[in-house]
Amino acid sequence: MTRWVTLDDMNADELAAYDYGCGEANAAFMKILGIARTGVSLSKEWELMRERVREMKEEGEDSDRLRHDLSKLLTDTVNAMRGNPPDLIAWSWHDIPELAGMLKEAVTLALDCIDDGDTQAAHVLLSEALRKLGTS
């Protein structure tokens, strides 16, 4: 029957034998993790590897959190421009810059029309912009 042993359970002789047999594999794994092999004990190397794996996991969680926050920002932005989508539908984000530019231009032109006393033209410009958004 096989006896399973973790590195933490090994004595110094067993660690030395393991390091002799697996030294190249450990070195390769440490290189992947970006840890320089310094000749410290095998248990210290494994602790360094465990710590780097924990750091990488935290970095991944931070990346996931950032991606979630940014997707919520984009969704909230497009919903603010187009209104809430129908059930089981989400507006695409691909045209947010174009929509924002179109709205800015329409509002700027409408304000110019209002300054010139032409509220009818301002109404037409804003109505057309809303129609292009699909909200009216």
Residues of the chain scoring pLDDT < 70: 1-42, 135-136
Q: What is the pLDDT of residues 72-100, one digit of tens each?
A: 999 999 999 888 999 999 999 999 999 99
What's the pTM value of the predicted model, to 2 decimals? 0.57
Question: 30: closest CA among 53, 7, 60?
Answer: 53
Tokens 């935290």 found at: 58
At 51 the pLDDT is 87
